[in-house]
Structures are given as structure tokens and as C-alpha cells.
Structure 1
């Protein structure tokens, strides 16, 4: 509990000399830590703010007690306080930072054994000194417990530092807990043991199992010690009242603070959703507290309610941004993305039924409305507290505002990427959304002009695709097959042998290939946008553009094949409902899930294994007697998240109706499972599924391909950031596979290298350029 001594503040001067000396010592400690542990501006500023807050509380306590000096023992405790501030700046660090944290913590713990004897020998023991000593101990334990929890991930360890504050908080509700406690040697031993155990755990010198056991025992001992104090106070008091109003008030205030603070510090980047990513200082909180503190009562209530509604809107936008960044690697667009929420409702309906979808929709609406009401009430309540304690709010806002400016101006600091410590997310959200609408209008006009400019509009069918006449052309689109899979050092060793084996097997069957890169318009998800981009020759990176495209008469690559005499078909295992866009693309026959005759189990998201989809394509289209030249689009879904379980490759003649896969479908997972758990395992699952997809497609070419087959094999987009990590490109490999050397000669001018593996220096072209380039290359 912070040092809070209520009552009138006396005019006695503060212990200025001792505080000045402590400030000098703190400057030396922070300078040394900057050099040895590299703590940087953000951590230094945090240490200064913590020291200023502690000094302010100490000055208040000294003035209330009417003391000019803390005495010799107080000087020792003040030195310990400086060391504790230094420890706080090192939380979460390893290497030199970890060593410095252990050294400073051990020194502070050693000094704890000195201030008591000094006070007794010099006859300067005071209530203020005892309280100062206790609070310093409590802060050290809290800081150490947070550090150990951060580095081990065992967040229950924080209870070691919070129990003392929990006891003090409980005393506000249960007043019989207040009062003197007997001096117990066991309590002193337990208290000392907490510091020793936490320092040893911070040092990381024990085996993990022994360290965890020591922490568990320390927590058990602390619970027992506090339990003994509770029992004692119960026995020595005749009445045991409960301040219910204080409890409700405290809970409401705490809930409001958590809600408002949580919305403001919530990172906008999925990869920043880790504990240190929430260590942020929002400028909106600082400015808002100061403004609400000085406003008169009635204007303050109006401003607080409006601010709460705006804050709720910011929170909803953050949540939507996190969802879109996770699945589509881009923020939510309030102009064009509302239709995707309808698609989400359809997905829920298909998963849990009509009733479940209605319940989920109502629940989402109630939750959104509840957030608006809750944030308005929270800001209103916190604004009232800011005004009531104006004398604390305004100096605190001044200190925190200065700290924000220092961090923003000098460091732009981030403890984790995507979560600046000097946060201004609310301002940024509103600014970005305000500019989105006119930008969307301009984009609509620009895209309409692009739609109207089609260099192949009105082209004669006789002159289209003449170099491929008589060929069967298959566009095999592999879900989530991105550049990272073939270049990332953590993934390429799994994929390189598959591509090398494919080259050897295809060469033995008379096939050759050339491979390059395309840059997809999206990443992480939104496969239909990549398909639209590939076949339309326009960049389709959001649903608004997609809807405009499919309502137009733009010539697609599929329709060009159809008009030139090919039979056009699509194999779409993931399509479980009507697909009206098929007419726009020019598909004469679409084989969705219901038309593929699959009698086996799903494999998590993928409705069927890729090998079955390819087998069904052979049965329904490729081997169909009397057909003409075929142009097919095949969506391979086995490498769609969550990438497990992965079916085995089977002899083609054993596949049948797919019921053979039933023994291999154990361990089904939900899509969202890819956002939790071990990153290495998630990446391994992704690679397993991608290996299966590639081997299925390459095996089909080797087994069923003939002299008239041309396969365009490509990825639709990169996998989600949980696999690629931050900063990945949007490039996807694309290969042309055929036995006909004339076809490969035509694409030789594209700069693609022979084989299935693209070279690191391979030319990269936007996916929206592919349609025009393909038509120009294979037409007259």
C-alpha cells in the first residue's frame, strides 16, 4: 500500500537534504544501469516517475508527522528505496540486466537488516520510519515477483508481492483487520524468506522444478502468515463489521479503472499481445484526468459521458483491428469491411445452426452496447474522483505528461514491436477513421476508372490464348503457400526437399517447370480476394473492390479461356453454399463440397484432403470421356489453418469416396487454436500440411499428367503472422509445369528460373499483372 497518512498537512519542512542526496544517488544508479544493462530512455523515465511518486508520498508523510529529518535509519531506508527503483527499471530483462537486478535486490535486502538496528542504537526509531521501511520492503517484493512472473510466465507468482496490498485493501472493507498485530518471529522469517526466494528465482540458478517448488512453498508460507494475522484480529475484536458500501465502491472504481486503462493500453498489433506490450502510458489518460479534474461538476459529467462513448468506439475499433490484423494482416476498414461481419455471421450459422447464430449475434450486440454504457459510467466515475482529489490529480498528470513527452520525443520507445510506450492510440484511431471515408471515396472513383480501362475488352476470342490451344490448363492454388515457406531459415529446410524431390519425379515423368514470385494483395487470409486479383488483372484487396468487380463485365482469365473454346470448371472443396460469382468468372461447372461426393471426415477447417479433391477432379472432369480442352481452377485446402490433423498420402486407387480417411482424422482443432500454444509447434503443423498439399498436387501431375497438360501452381497468400513472424512480405511462389518446351519458352522472358523452387533474386511482379501478362504471352 502506498504511504498515505490522512489528516491535515503540517507546515513542517520536508527532509530536503536527504531527498537531494537520494536524488543524486538515483542519478548515479540509473546512469550505471544505462551503461551496464542498457536500460534506455523508457526505463529510465519509468524509474524517475516511480521515484518522484515515492518522494511525494514520503514528503507528505514527513510533513504530517512534523519531522525535518528521517534520521540515520531513514537514510539507510532511503538508499534502499533508490535501489528498489533501480530494480524496477530492470524488470523483464535478461543477460546483464538480470545480473544487475539480482545484485541490486540482494544489496537492498542486506540493507534491510541494517536500518532497524541503526534506529534502535541511535534512538531515532519513529512510526514514520517503521512505515517507510515496511513500504519499501513491500515494493521490492512486488517488483521482484513481477520480474519472476515475466521471465517464467508463471503469473501466480505476482501473488507474493500483492498479498500485503490485498490485506490492506481488505481492511478498508473489514475494519476489524485494522489495528496492532503481535510481533511474531515466524512472520519475520516468512517475510525475509520471500525476498530470498524471489532473488534466487530471478537469478535462475536453480533447476526449473526446484525453483517452482521453492516459489510454491514461499507462497504457502506467506498465506499461512497472513492467515495467522487474520485469525488473531478476529479473536481480539468483539465485532466484525463489513463496510459493504466501501466494498462496492472500491470494486466499481477498480473495474472502471481496469476498463478505461485496458482500452487505452490495448495494443493494436496481434504480436504485441504479451505482458510487456501492455506497459504503456496513454496520453489520453493523462490529458483526460487533468481536464476532468478542473471542470465544474455539470460540464464534467457531460464531457465524461461523451468521452466514455468515444472510448468505447475506440475499444471496438481496436478489437476489430486485432481481428483483421490476425486473419487478414490489415486493419479494419469501416467503409468496406462491414459486409465481412455478415460473412462471419453466415460462418457461425453454418457452424452452430440458425438458433446459435441468432444468439451469437444478439450476444455481440449486447456486448457492444454494454461496452458503451460501461465505459461512459467508468469515465464518469473516474472523472469525479479526479476532481475530488484535484491536488493529487493535477501534479500527477504534470509528471506523467512530462514523462510521455520525454519518451515520445527522445525514444519513441517500444518494449515490444507495435506497442509504443508513449501511446496515443485513441487519437490515432479517430484520426485514421476520419481520413478513411474520403480516402475510400477517392479509391472507389479510382477503381471505377480502372474497371473501365480493360485492354482486353472486346478482344476477339479467335486471337486469345492461341499458344495453348488443345492444352488442358489447370490453375492449382495452394492455400497459405507463401515466400516464407521457401526462404525462412526456420521453414525452408522442410520445404526444399519436397520441391527438390518434385523436380526429380516430374523430370522422370517428362515434365519441366519454371518458377517466380507474385505479390498477393493480402496476407494471412482472404483467399477469394487473391483469386479475384489473379483472374481479373486488378488489385482486389478488400470486399468493397471485390463487390464492384463481380458486378462488372470485366474479362477474367477464366472467361477468356471459355470464350476461346475451353470447357471451364472449378473445384472448390471449401464452398458449402451457392457461389453466384461463378458466372462472373466464367466457370461453366463448379464442384463445391456437395458435388464432390466425399464420404470421409473433415480435417479441421479443410472439408476434405487435397488428394481426394484432386482424385475427384480426375473422376468428374479430367477423365471424363468426350470432353474438350479443359481449363480448371482447383483450390487446395489442406494447408488452411489450423493445419492439423494432416492425412497421409495414399495410393490413388485406394481413395474411393474418401471414407478411407476416417481412421486418420483424430485431433481435430478449432481455427483459433493457431493463436495460442507453442509457436514452433504451430509452424511445424503448418509445414506438415503444406508438405502434404504440395506432394498431393505434384503426385497428381506425375501420375495423371500427359503431353497436353499445363499446370500453373501457386500460393494464394502468406500464412498468418503466427507462422511468418513480423515483417514478412506478401510474395507467393508461382510455377508453370508442363511437358511442352514451347510453353516454357514463352515464359522464359518472365525471368523465372527452372525448377519448382524460386530463386532469392527472382523477379517479383504484382499478382494483378498476371492476367494481362498471361494473355499477352499466350495470345497472338
Structure 2
């Protein structure tokens, strides 16, 4: 049925669709307060839908819409509603529940219109095209919404269909048709489902990235197969496919050779240089016999793949730990990294990330040798022109650098990275021998207990590590206020403090290296040294206190399994962890319990015991552990109980996914977590009323470079706190400054010097 206005015949279907959209916009305005941007976007999309649908109906000579077409029209109207809400979300909070509901109904109807068409016998080319374009528009709108938070690269999912259409204007063979593929329909559905799930914001960030990448990969495969089929159907010129494959192989090798190490930026400019190793490889292929050239290609491709993976790992280690990746011993951190990632984003998300990284590495190690072989075959067939091209590229690469008007090409080429890696491997192997020599020297190995720590006799001594408490924290006004408040609390309780800096052997994580360095008096800056150290009988601070008559205790609240080193190396009399302190409250990401509960439980289990020996304890405060969200709040100490008072706090605080979307939010969350840990500690001292209490409070390492910045020091604040003025007076000659906050010019000492200095200072 059509309406007639003079000579203009207007199909009713598009008008009904536009009217339905106006009704939907009115409803959305009443429910969500749809703004001007939403109204304009909705009306424009609706008008565009009506115009394009009318033209398509005229092109296909359709007088009206069939039953299945009406379902598809409903989907298109819903997509326009989603577009209106998406446009509005750029200026005001989005009604996520309504967006998800509209998208979900649209996706559900996508499975209905095809069935209706088949049951009613109304399957048509018009209906199939209408269905495809409705899918594409909804996916485009969803990708715009998701791209705001997940990254604008997600727009590639929504733009794929439209880029394909645009390409067909320049390449007529793309306008051909192929038999319908069920897999293409499945992939399209996966895009919509994935984007809607991400829009619902219930997935951790790492999982979100992985599923979006998988969806994009499936979409690329689907379009790639369609393009390949259309190309073959059109009858590609002889050798064209081989030429494209060879070009892709060259580009892959080129990019792999030019990926910079941590000193370079992953910008487009980094890939516009000429890789000298690539030119050398091509020359060797030209002069070697074919068989040797193929062997060289395989070996060279594998080496390039290995170097690429190592450079990427190097960049990751500098980002997280401010140091290079060491192949000899850093593989030992895989289990720890998986555990840490599981605590932050969940076990499923952590495994998905590890699988994704593993698949990427394997793909590189497989594709690069294959690419090298293809380039080798190409070069051996065209030796003379290849050598001419190499000569020109060599001149372009070398002459500017030799004349001083270009970059030095040797600085960042992969061979230089390979040389550095080879040097590091040699140094890592020699490192064990140097560490063995340091182990032989221990001035306190044979010191009897009655000559140790007599200056602290009768005192309870707490060695408190505040997770990620680095020099960077002192730049935050939030932490500064917490330190000032802490000084006031300590003064009111009759305590004083002196502070300085120690240089940690680690950065951004791997806390046990700092713990063992402080306790052993040795520089334990890698897992190889740590693994060797804990098999020996080196005197630690805990050992020294144990010899001198103290009860020694470790409190590691986030451990949920036995820690054998606590007994076999540190020789603690008692170890507390997640399982044996009576905690019945919630976890806070990595932190299995708030620091306030850790301190309250230690007071109850150790300090309130009658007729006890003095206690030396290492306490780990982990509320300031990454991801720094959600964060507990302080409660009255009398209300701590079994920790159930904290039950509602994780839901009330920010989630890690929310915090880690913006670097500024990460820095703010970090500062708040340090302030909380310091508040908990100084409040604990104030309410304890134990004038025989002595505390050594320090950070284990700086936070990751997302907070500390590139090139930050490894310094951490350290304070000695005591009510007895004689205790703090003993460290006056260390140059440490009064108060909890050391000035920027306060003394800095390597962390491995603390043990000997402390034992010597309090020996008599």
C-alpha cells in the first residue's frame, strides 16, 4: 500500500518506522530525560532510515514490507534509539540498563526475522540486504559507545562493513555476490553480543580487551574470507595473490625488526626507518646457495621472533618493574604474575590474558620463519633487482646518519638489542658467583644471642612493610596530610620518630626481594638470588631477635597457603595468614583483609597475651597493594571484631575496572590507599598504649611506573618509631630527620645496609 500526493508515491513502511521511532524517543525522553543531542541524533537516524528504506524499496520494486521485513524494521528503529542514547551519553551519564535492554531486544529479533521469512515464504534479496544493514548499524552504534571506555580502536568493529562498502566503490569486483555463509551470520551475532556484554560493564578490563580482540579477529577473518572469495571469483591477475602474500611477509618482517626496546616509542615513526639487519639478510640470501639460504631464512625468522618476544617482554618489565627482562631467571615469575592478576581481575580473566599472550607469541614464532622463507624465495628469483634495491635502501639508511643529519641507526637496531640480551645472559650467569662470594661474609654469623640487640631489651619490635610505599607517595597532598595526622597521633601517645630513605632492590612489585634484602643484609634483586639465599642459613633480623630471646612472628595476611620459607629460612616461631586470624569479612581485591584488621588481630593474638616474652614481628600491610581499589574505611577499633563490619565496603568503593580506566584515577587511588595504611598504623599505635613498642616502618618498593613515572628512583621512606627517646636517639647519627615524613634531601642508603647498621646500633 502506498500513499499518493500528486505524483509522489510514498511507501507506508518507512513512514511507519519513522513514526515508531518518534514514539520510542518520546518514551526515552520521559524515562531518561533524553537531551538535545539524543533527539537530534535519533531524528536524523530515523529520517535517514526512512529515506534509504524508501529508495531500496523502489529499487527492488517493492510496494510494501513483508512480515520478516517488519521485524527487521523494528530492529532498525531500536538501533536508532540506541544511537540517540549513545549520543546523549557524551554529555551526561548513560542509562546503561536501558541501552542494554534495547540492544538485547534488537539482537534477539535478529534471530527472528530470518525464521519468519522462511516460514512465510517471503525470503528475498531485499530482505537479506535490509537485515545485513540493520545488523551493521547496530554494531556501529554499539562500537561507538564501547569505544569511549575500551579504546577507539573498537570502532574498527563497527566501521568494518562501511569500509568494505566504500572500498567497493573503488574496486568493482568487491560488489560481486557469493553464496550465503552461515559462519558470517554467526560472526555478526558475536559482534553484537560481545559489544552489548561490554556495554553492560560486568567484565574486568583485561577480559574486556581480550573478548573485543577475539571479536575483531573473527570479524577480520570473516571479511577476509569474503574478500578472498570475491577476488578469486573475479579472476585475479596471475601472480597477484602471491604478490600480496609476499608484500605482507615483507611488512611483517620489517615491523618485527623495527619494534623498539623500552627506550623507544611505539609510534608510527618507529616503523618508518630502514632495518639494517633486513638488508644484510637479503644480501646473504642473494649470495648463498638456495638450500643454505632457506636454512638461514628459518633460523633468522626464529631469531627475529624470539628477539621480538623478548623486546616486548622487556618493555613490559620496564613498565611494571623499571628494569629489563632477564631470560635466565624472570620466567620464575609466571606463577606469581598469574596469581597477582587473578587477585586483580579474577582467575578466568587472568587465564584469558595469559592464553592470549601465549597465542600471540606462538603466532609470531610461526609466522616470522614462514615470512622469511617466502621473502627468500622471492629474492632468489630476482637477485639482481633485489641487490639494486638493497643498495638504494642502504644509502638512504646510512648516509644521513654519517653526515649527522639523521638518527644513529645502530642504536636501536635488533642486533644491538640482541647484543644487550646476550650480555645480560652472561651477566646473569656470573651474578650467582658474585652472590656466593657475598654470602661468605657475615659478621653476625657467630655472634651469641646475649650480645645481640641489648639496646632493645624488653621492647616489642614490629618490622612493618607498607606495600608500594615509595618516595613517589610523598608528592601526594593526600599522603602528606596522612603523615601530618600520624605525627600528631604519635605525639599525643608519647611517641617520636625519625625518618630517611632506603633504596629498594625491586620496583613496582616482587616484594619478597625487598623483605629478604632488608632481613639478610644482602642485595637480593632477582629471583635467582632469592631462591639460592633461602636454602642457606644466613642470619636474618628475625634470627637475631630469636637468638636474643624474642618470640618471632610473621603476619602475611594475603597468604592462603603454607609459606615454607618462613620456617626453613626466617625461622619464625609463628606465622599468621589469611586462614588463622579469625577473619570473616570480605576481600578487597588483592588484600584479603583490611590493614586495620591485620593490626587488630595481631594485637589480640600476640600483644595481649599475659606473661609473654617480648615479640619481634614482621607485619605486611597490603591494603595499598595494586590495584588500590576498592579501599576499606577506618572503623572504631572496638568495632573491628571478626571483620564482618567491613562486609558492605567493597560494593561501596570504586572497582579496579573503574579506577584503571584513567591514569589520574590510578594515581589518586594509590595515594588514598597509602594514606589509609598510614592512618591504620598510627591509629593502632595510639590506641595500643604500649610504651615498650618500637616500630620500623618502611615501603617495600615504589609503585609501578603508571604512578611513579618513567625513570623514578627505587627509594622508599623508612621510619623508626618509639616512645623511649633512647631508641630514636641511637639513630640520630644516621642523619635521619624527626617525624614520619623525610625531606627530599634526607639520607638515602641501600636497603641491604640496614641489617648490619641496625644490629650494630642496638648491640649494646
**TM-based fold match above 0.5:** yes
Residue 630 in structure 1 maps to residue 623 in structure 2: no
State the distance in 2 between where 1:673 and 1:295 align: 57
Residue 426 in structure 1 maps to residue 420 in structure 2: no
State the distance in 2 between where 1:700 and 1:655 align: 12
Corresponding residue for residue 678 of structure 1:
662
Corresponding residue for residue 649 of structure 1:
634
**Secondary structure, aligned partner of 1:762:** coil
Checking the alignment, whether the CA contact within 8 Å between 2:449 and 2:547 is kept in structure 1 is yes
Checking the alignment, whether the CA contact within 8 Å between 1:566 and 1:630 is kept in structure 2 is yes
Residue 484 in structure 1 maps to residue 462 in structure 2: no
1:572-624 CA distances to partner (integer Å, 9 max, x unpaired)?
A: 01222221111211211111111222222221222221111111111222222
Q: 1:703 aligns with which of 687, 704, 709?
A: 687
Provide closer, same or farther for how the CA distance between residues 335 and 493 of structure 1 changes in structure 2, counting only shifts above 3 A: same
Q: Following TM superposition, by how much is the alpha carbon of 1:719 offset from its aligned partner in structure 2, in angstroms?
A: 0.6
Checking the alignment, whether the CA contact within 8 Å between 2:322 and 2:711 is kept in structure 1 is no
1:322-353 CA distances to partner (integer Å, 9 max, x unpaired)?
A: 33223322222122223223444666899999
Corresponding residue for residue 114 of structure 2:
none
Checking the alignment, whether the CA contact within 8 Å between 1:601 and 1:659 is kept in structure 2 is yes
Equivalent residues in 2 for 1:533-682 (5 A)?
533-583=517-567, 584-666=569-651, 677-682=661-666
**Secondary structure, aligned partner of 1:614:** helix
Equivalent residues in 2 for 1:234-383 (5 A)?
241-243=234-236, 249=242, 252-253=245-246, 255-269=248-262, 272-273=265-266, 280-293=273-286, 295-344=288-337, 368-383=361-376
Equivalent residues in 2 for 1:25-174 (5 A)?
167=167, 171=171
State the distance in 2 between where 1:338 and 1:155 align: 31
State the distance in 2 between where 1:266 and 1:618 align: 53
**Secondary structure, aligned partner of 1:385:** helix
Provide closer, same or farther for how the CA distance between residues 514 and 352 of structure 1 changes in structure 2, counting only shifts above 3 A: closer
Provide closer, same or farther for how the CA distance between residues 335 and 759 of structure 1 changes in structure 2, counting only shifts above 3 A: same
Corresponding residue for residue 447 of structure 1:
435
Provide closer, same or farther for how the CA distance between residues 298 and 329 of structure 1 changes in structure 2, counting only shifts above 3 A: same
1:646-668 CA distances to partner (integer Å, 9 max, x unpaired)?
A: 11111112222222222221388
Corresponding residue for residue 126 of structure 1:
none
Provide closer, same or farther for how the CA distance between residues 623 and 400 of structure 1 changes in structure 2, counting only shifts above 3 A: farther
State the distance in 2 between where 1:296 and 1:498 align: 72
State the distance in 2 between where 1:701 and 1:263 align: 56
Q: Which is further off, 165-174 or 434-443?
A: 165-174
Equivalent residues in 2 for 1:457-476 (5 A)?
457-476=445-464
Provide closer, same or farther for how the CA distance between residues 344 and 644 of structure 1 changes in structure 2, counting only shifts above 3 A: closer
1:439-472 CA distances to partner (integer Å, 9 max, x unpaired)?
A: 2332211111111110111101000000001000
State the distance in 2 between where 1:754 and 1:407 align: 57
1:265-300 CA distances to partner (integer Å, 9 max, x unpaired)?
A: 333229844555655543323333444355553333
Checking the alignment, whether the CA contact within 8 Å between 2:735 and 2:746 is kept in structure 1 is yes
Checking the alignment, whether the CA contact within 8 Å between 1:281 and 1:423 is kept in structure 2 is no
Corresponding residue for residue 28 of structure 1:
none
State the distance in 2 between where 1:381 and 1:609 align: 58
State the distance in 1 between where 2:239 and 2:394 align: 31
Equivalent residues in 2 for 1:712-723 (5 A)?
712-723=696-707
**Secondary structure, aligned partner of 1:597:** coil
State the distance in 1 between where 2:342 and 2:483 align: 39
Q: Following TM superposition, by how much is the alpha carbon of 1:262 offset from its aligned partner in structure 2, in angstroms?
A: 3.6
Checking the alignment, whether the CA contact within 8 Å between 2:558 and 2:578 is kept in structure 1 is yes
Provide closer, same or farther for how the CA distance between residues 247 and 392 of structure 1 changes in structure 2, counting only shifts above 3 A: closer
Checking the alignment, whether the CA contact within 8 Å between 2:344 and 2:590 is kept in structure 1 is no
Checking the alignment, whether the CA contact within 8 Å between 1:518 and 1:734 is kept in structure 2 is yes
**Secondary structure, aligned partner of 1:440:** helix
Q: Following TM superposition, by how much is the alpha carbon of 1:174 offset from its aligned partner in structure 2, in angstroms?
A: 5.5
State the aligned residue count: 558
Corresponding residue for residue 512 of structure 2:
528
State the distance in 2 between where 1:412 and 1:686 align: 44
**Secondary structure, aligned partner of 2:488:** helix
Corresponding residue for residue 224 of structure 1:
none
Checking the alignment, whether the CA contact within 8 Å between 2:469 and 2:716 is kept in structure 1 is yes
Checking the alignment, whether the CA contact within 8 Å between 1:639 and 1:693 is kept in structure 2 is yes
Q: 1:760 aligns with which of 744, 753, 758?
A: 744
Residue 435 in structure 1 maps to residue 428 in structure 2: no
TM-score (norm 2): 0.66
**Secondary structure, aligned partner of 1:639:** coil
Q: Following TM superposition, by how much is the alpha carbon of 1:636 offset from its aligned partner in structure 2, in angstroms?
A: 0.8
Checking the alignment, whether the CA contact within 8 Å between 2:630 and 2:656 is kept in structure 1 is no
Q: Following TM superposition, by how much is the alpha carbon of 1:241 offset from its aligned partner in structure 2, in angstroms?
A: 1.7
1:675-712 CA distances to partner (integer Å, 9 max, x unpaired)?
A: x6322121111111111111111111111142100011
User: Which ranges in structure 2 are unaligned for 5 or more consecutive residues?
Assistant: 1-150, 178-229
Checking the alignment, whether the CA contact within 8 Å between 1:470 and 1:708 is kept in structure 2 is yes
TM-score (norm 1): 0.65
State the distance in 1 between where 2:167 and 2:352 align: 41
**Secondary structure, aligned partner of 2:500:** strand
**Secondary structure, aligned partner of 1:594:** coil
Alpha-carbon RMSD across the aligned residues, in angstroms, is 3.8
Provide closer, same or farther for how the CA distance between residues 436 and 480 of structure 1 changes in structure 2, counting only shifts above 3 A: same
Q: Following TM superposition, by how much is the alpha carbon of 1:424 offset from its aligned partner in structure 2, in angstroms?
A: 3.7
Checking the alignment, whether the CA contact within 8 Å between 1:174 and 1:243 is kept in structure 2 is no
State the distance in 2 between where 1:454 and 1:672 align: 47
Q: Following TM superposition, by how much is the alpha carbon of 1:523 offset from its aligned partner in structure 2, in angstroms?
A: 0.8
**Secondary structure, aligned partner of 1:759:** coil
Residue 771 in structure 1 maps to residue 759 in structure 2: no
**Secondary structure, aligned partner of 1:632:** strand
Checking the alignment, whether the CA contact within 8 Å between 1:482 and 1:731 is kept in structure 2 is yes
Q: Following TM superposition, by how much is the alpha carbon of 1:165 offset from its aligned partner in structure 2, in angstroms?
A: 13
State the distance in 2 between where 1:606 and 1:277 align: 40
1:89-119 CA distances to partner (integer Å, 9 max, x unpaired)?
A: xxxxxxxxxxxxxxxxxxxxxxxxxxxxxxx
Provide closer, same or farther for how the CA distance between residues 350 and 638 of structure 1 changes in structure 2, counting only shifts above 3 A: closer
